[in-house]
Every structure is written in C-alpha cells, then in structure tokens.
Structure 1
Amino acid sequence: MKLNIIITSTRPGRNGKPVGDWMFDYAKAHDAGFEVVLTDLADLALPVMDEPNHPRLKKYVHEHTKTWSAIVEGSDAFVFVLPEYNFAPPPSFVNALDYLSQEWACKPCAFVSYGGVSGGLRSVQVAKQIVTALKMMPLPEQVVIPMVFGHLSEGKFTAEKLHEDSAGAMVAELARWAKALAVLR
C-alpha cells in the first residue's frame, strides 16, 4: 500500500514544506505497512482547472492532469498537509481535488493542519466536506499544529511529543482503513 503525504500550499514562503517533510520522515520511520511518498503541489504547478471534459470521464487532455491522475490513482491513502487561509483550505488544495474524480474514491485521508491559534482546524472542517463528496473517508485522527511559527527554525519543523503521538495514531488508522477499503477499489 502507498501512503501519499501531500503538501497543499503553493504560496511562496509557505510553512507547509517543513511540516510536510517532517510528516514524510515520520511516516517512513514508523512503518505501518505503507510505502510512503511525498507530493508537493507546488512542484506539480497545476493551473486553475483547465480540462475541457468533466473529471468523472477521465478523458484528460493535458499532461499535468495525466501526471496528477497517475499519482492519485497509485495511492491508497493520503495525508493532506493543510494550512488555513481565511477559515478555509488553500485554493491549491481545492483545485487539485477538483481535477480528478474516480481516482480519489474509496481511499482514506487524514490531515496535518497548521496555522495560528486554531492550528488549521477550521480549514480541515471545510476540507472534510469536500473530500466526502469525492467518496473519500476522512478520519478523525489528525495532527494539529497551532502557532506553527514557534516550531520552525532554519527551514525545519520540530515536533513535540503530542505531534508525534498524534501522527502515530493517524498513520496506524490510515493503514487499517486503506486495507479495509481496498476491496471497494
């Protein structure tokens, strides 16, 4: 099974890269039966949805969409590293979800959210509504990082025990759900 850690913010100067790198390293080091991969939406550089056909048809004409489709299709579970922009997920996250349809179905997802005092929790609540429309299973286990700035130094995120404990529970639960949902895929 493949666990895909997806860094969703594409904003220059974002905090998602060090948080995503930490989650990737943590998941690789704490084997739950996953091959762990890291996808950065900034590297994919998906334009605002530009496919002429509905995603449900899987008749993609652009190479960036075909690449994105293969990445998502080849994954069994997801951790979305998600900031909060105006009480909501970043537009890059919503756009990336909207590009595809069938590739997301019957796969579990969880969130590592970060931000100010709320730790991105409001963003996750909105994101969960969107992913369920794509037939994904968002799990209640997640990592919440309030005041993320205090955990960043020289481009690295330093986790506390609470973050690590939360990540361990989340990854273990993703493995259980990914196995259970495999029969539906």
Structure 2
Amino acid sequence: MASKPKIALIIGSTRQHRFADIPAQWMLAQAQARGDMDVEIVDLRDFNLPMFDEPASDAYMPSSNAAAVAWQKKIAGYDGYIFVVAEYNHSVTGPLKNAVDQAYTAWAKKPMAAIAYGSMGGARALEHLRGIAVELQMVPTRNAVHIGGGDFWKVHPGMGGSGNLADIEGALLPSAKATLDDLAWWAGATMAARSA
C-alpha cells in the first residue's frame, strides 16, 4: 500500500452534555499509537447540517444545500470511518442518522468501525448503523468497542462516574485492538480495490 489510510473518527452526538468526547479521545489515542493509519476527529457539531430535504440522494443527483455539499466533500476525503455511537432509545442519534443520509457516494466501498456506548454497550444502535452502512455500500467490521453496563456507569460523569476510560481500559483494549486491526485490513483492501 502506497500510503496509510486516512480515517475519520466521527462523533455522532451533538448534545451539550454528551459523553461522546471521552470515548472519542480514548479511541483516537488507541488508533494513533498503532502508526498504521492517520486518524482525525470529525465532530458533527462543526457542521450545521439541515435535516435531509433534497429531492433525492446524491447517488442520483447533486445536493443543492451548501452545508450538505461541504459535508460530502469532507467525508469523501477519508478511506474509512470509526463512528462514536451513542445509543438513544435503542438506535442511533438523530444527528448521526441525518449526517449519514446527507451523503451516499462518499461512504461507498469504504470500511466502518465503531466505539459504542450505552446501558447495553450501544449494541442496538450499532446494529442499526451497520444495516444503514451496508445500504450505503460501506463495509462494517465484525469487531467493535462496546462500553456498557457497570463499566458505562463507572465512567459516565453525568451519572457520577469518573470520566476517565483508564478506569475500564483493561476491558476495552482487546476489542479496540481487534476493531482497529479489522479497520486497517479493510481500509487497505478497499483502497487497493478502488485504485485498481
């Protein structure tokens, strides 16, 4: 492979008091320590995306909203994605679903991984996101990082937790390694396939 894959670590919650920044920074550190990918945080707060209101997906016609076009250009520059997935009522956040819907062609033929959190480790939300990703022609990795149950409450500062993932890192490191291994492999494979 000529170059390391460029990966977007997408923060999928925009709430003022979100927990997402804590797992995002932790996952960023895990990815950067490897040296086999370049990872950059992409925060949905930084994009003033309207609710999807185009006549059709950009798979069929160009988007007309300038914010949507800027978002599409931003995510098109990456070779894969790590989503920070908060579980709201058994699914993904509204802002994340809207951001994913604002693009189609930019996601296609690239891998996606995740670090998910919630009482059940964000598993239900991530399962929804994986189904959406398949429709968008992404390649969801098998492995993911899940922060749930007692570990979630132990570190969630809004629930009296420490706010420090180092307190539960031993439980997370094996899944983080497996997830990033998957992502690196699929990013390399899809980069090679797209350039062929």
Normalised TM-score (structure 2): 0.86
2:155 to 136, 145, 151: 151
Q: Quote the residue 1:130 is aligned against.
A: 132
Does 39-48 or 73-82 show the bigger shift? Answer: 39-48
**Separation in structure 1 between the aligned mates of residue 66 and residue 164 of structure 2, nearest angstrom:** 32
Preserved contact between residue 142 and residue 182 of structure 2 (Cα < 8 Å): no
2:83 alignment partner AA: F
**Separation in structure 1 between the aligned mates of residue 45 and residue 19 of structure 2, nearest angstrom:** 12
**Structure with greater proportional strand content:** 1
Matches within 5 A, 1:1-185: 1-31=5-35, 33-57=36-60, 59-116=62-119, 118-147=120-149, 148-152=152-156, 156-158=164-166, 159-185=168-194
Preserved contact between residue 80 and residue 109 of structure 1 (Cα < 8 Å): yes
Does 4-13 or 158-167 show the bigger shift? Answer: 158-167
**Separation in structure 1 between the aligned mates of residue 98 and residue 80 of structure 2, nearest angstrom:** 19
Could you tell me how far 1:62 is from its partner in structure 2?
Answer: 2.7
Preserved contact between residue 91 and residue 125 of structure 2 (Cα < 8 Å): yes
Sort the Cα spacing of 1:17 and 1:58 in 2 relative to 1 into closer, same or farther, 3 A: farther
For these two proteins, the number of residue pairs brought into alignment is 183
Preserved contact between residue 85 and residue 125 of structure 2 (Cα < 8 Å): yes
Could you tell me how far 1:170 is from its partner in structure 2?
Answer: 0.9
Task: Summarize deviations over 1:137-170 as a string: whole Å, max 9, x none.
Answer: 1111100001423124575443412212211121
**Separation in structure 2 between the aligned mates of residue 143 and residue 25 of structure 1, nearest angstrom:** 14
RMSD (Å) for aligned C-alpha atoms? 1.7
Preserved contact between residue 5 and residue 38 of structure 1 (Cα < 8 Å): yes
2:182 alignment partner AA: E
**Separation in structure 2 between the aligned mates of residue 78 and residue 173 of structure 1, nearest angstrom:** 12
Sort the Cα spacing of 1:58 and 1:36 in 2 relative to 1 into closer, same or farther, 3 A: farther
1:120 alignment partner AA: G
**Separation in structure 1 between the aligned mates of residue 61 and residue 42 of structure 2, nearest angstrom:** 21
Q: Percent identity between the aligned chains?
A: 32
**Separation in structure 2 between the aligned mates of residue 42 and residue 83 of structure 1, nearest angstrom:** 15
**Separation in structure 2 between the aligned mates of residue 138 and residue 58 of structure 1, nearest angstrom:** 26
What SS is found at the alignment partner of 2:42?
A: strand
What SS is found at the alignment partner of 2:183?
A: helix
Sort the Cα spacing of 1:150 and 1:160 in 2 relative to 1 into closer, same or farther, 3 A: same
Structure of larger gyration radius: 2
Task: Summarize deviations over 1:87-107 as a string: whole Å, max 9, x none.
Answer: 111111111110011111110
**Separation in structure 2 between the aligned mates of residue 38 and residue 14 of structure 1, nearest angstrom:** 15
Normalised TM-score (structure 1): 0.91
